[in-house]
Structure 1
Amino acid sequence: MSNSKLESVEVNPNQPHTAVVIWLHGLGDSGNGFAPIVPELKIPDSLPIRFVFPHAPVRPITVNNNMEMRAWYDIASLDFNHRADRTGVETSAKQVEALIDAEIANGTPAECIVLAGFSQGGVIALHLGTRINKKLAGIMALSTYMCEPETLANEACDANKNTPILMAHGQQDNVVPVFMGNAAFKVLEENGYPVTWQDYPMQHSVCLEEINHISQWLQARLG
């Protein structure tokens, strides 16, 4: 599976792009889920950004009675400490890294690439972004948590030790409770990352205030 190329939905600007955002969806969603957010970000034409929304592979999910759906990894337990299947996380991280490598090969330097993700996608963004040996423009982790936070200190690559990380979460999230996101934020902070935290009065979703904040953050990182 790790060698198969991820299919993606692409939203390209009207002129040659100078930066790329790779944005990973959540459990049961697809790359189509977040593609409509691009016009809502109101990125100015002077900053041509290419957005790539890959589809996660379809796999059975243990906690959903083995129902098959798009997922970056299996969820075998809802236990907060063991929710993410490490093997699946690593496999998906390799596939997403291949997407990053493809953008670099097409002429966009890693320093002009933001890795973003929502929920399960955010788990991959945090896992890969802290371990990849290429300096990224930024890491965005929305309504998400961290796979095996205790391993970060030993496994982190120095390439992104100074890369800005944006974490955002809904205060009423009943899928990924806000304390799980905040715990990941604190682990990143303790490990010296320049991470910022924002929460909003919403559930496991995205709100207009957050979209505006994401837009400002992306423009600051990629402008």
Structure 2
Amino acid sequence: MTGQLETVEVVTGQAPEFSVIWLHGLGADGHDFEPIVPALTLPVPMRFVFPHAPERAVTINQGMRMRAWYDILSLERFSVEDEAGIRASEALLIGLIEAELARGIAVQRIILAGFSQGGAIALHTGLRYPQTLGGIMVLSAYLPLRGSVEAERSAANAGTSIFMAHGSADATIPEALAIQSGQALRSYGYDLDWHSYPMAHQVCAQELADISSWIDRCVSAAAG
């Protein structure tokens, strides 16, 4: 248990120097990306924290309860958003960041990551967090609550690297939405590392290699 959320943790070596807080997608849990860690080439010992999202009723699934960071009201209109749920999960993620700080990991050595709606929460929170993070990883996701970014974004993460990746055949979250999100981020001046892969709503081997390279750059930037 970390803060208010149960988590799965993977530590890649003694005395981890970096923490990656990685949020799963709708209906999954913290174990979903646990097997990914051995496939990454990492420059230093790291702690991966995979939280389990709370269970809630999800509108697009006929109100069934499942693990979700926020309600999905429509797959056709992503502009119709569960703002209260998004902001509640932002608070939960901030709690996880604070837990890593309490363990002695410097804030610039904490990476926020997530897949699908988990990536949306990582991005939403990272843009607003008042201290400079080590990086933000957004996989098969998009920028939520776009209309509030200008007023709420924090100058502390204006230069933080954002790794954003999407599948060109994604039928769950269309790549066009991710491209629009990336364009919005670039318009605000963010350092966006964009990648597109010939895949559906998933991850692929080349993506993992690119993530490894990006993490290496984040580690180097934090050391410099």
TM-score range, shorter chain: over 0.9
Confirm whether residue 194 of structure 1 aligns to residue 200 of structure 2: no
Q: How far apart, in 1, do the equivalents of 2:8 and 2:201 lie?
A: 22
Residue 81 of structure 1 contacts residue 148 of structure 1 at CA under 8 Å; is this kept in 2? Answer: no
Residue 146 (structure 2) aligns with: 149
Structure 2 residue corresponding to 1:64, chosen from 61, 83, 96: 61
Q: How far apart, in 2, do the equivalents of 1:109 and 1:79 lie?
A: 40
Q: TM-score, normalised by structure 1?
A: 0.95
Q: How far apart, in 1, do the equivalents of 2:152 and 2:86 lie?
A: 14
Amino acid at match of 2:109: C
Confirm whether residue 180 of structure 1 aligns to residue 177 of structure 2: yes
Q: How far apart, in 2, do the equivalents of 1:166 and 1:142 lie?
A: 8
Confirm whether residue 110 of structure 1 aligns to residue 104 of structure 2: no
Gaps of 5+ in 1: none
Q: How far apart, in 1, do the equivalents of 2:18 and 2:191 lie?
A: 21
Q: Over aligned residue pairs, what C-alpha RMSD do you find?
A: 1.3
Secondary structure (helix, strand or coil) at the match of 1:80 reads coil
Q: How far apart, in 2, do the equivalents of 1:24 and 1:93 lie?
A: 11
1:83 deviates by 4.5
Q: How far apart, in 1, do the equivalents of 2:115 and 2:156 lie?
A: 23
Amino acid at match of 1:24: L
Residue 86 (structure 2) aligns with: 89
1:81 deviates by 3.8
Amino acid at match of 1:84: E
Q: How far apart, in 1, do the equivalents of 2:65 and 2:184 lie?
A: 32
Residue 13 of structure 2 contacts residue 46 of structure 2 at CA under 8 Å; is this kept in 1? Answer: no
Residue 42 (structure 2) aligns with: 43
Q: Alignment length, in residue pairs?
A: 219
Confirm whether residue 129 of structure 1 aligns to residue 140 of structure 2: no
Q: How far apart, in 2, do the equivalents of 1:64 and 1:72 lie?
A: 14
Amino acid at match of 2:31: N
Identity of aligned residues (%): 46
Q: TM-score, normalised by structure 2?
A: 0.95
Confirm whether residue 18 of structure 1 aligns to residue 17 of structure 2: yes
Residue 59 of structure 1 contacts residue 68 of structure 1 at CA under 8 Å; is this kept in 2? Answer: yes
Gaps of 5+ in 2: none
Q: How far apart, in 2, do the equivalents of 1:77 and 1:9 lie?
A: 30
Name segments (4+ residues, structure 1) moved above 6 Å: none
Q: How far apart, in 1, do the equivalents of 2:177 and 2:70 lie?
A: 18
1:209 deviates by 0.3
Residue 77 (structure 2) aligns with: 80
Residue 80 of structure 1 contacts residue 180 of structure 1 at CA under 8 Å; is this kept in 2? Answer: no
Measured against aligned partners, the alpha-carbon deviations of 1:60-103 in whole angstroms (never above 9, x if no partner) come to 10111001110000012224342431110000010010000010
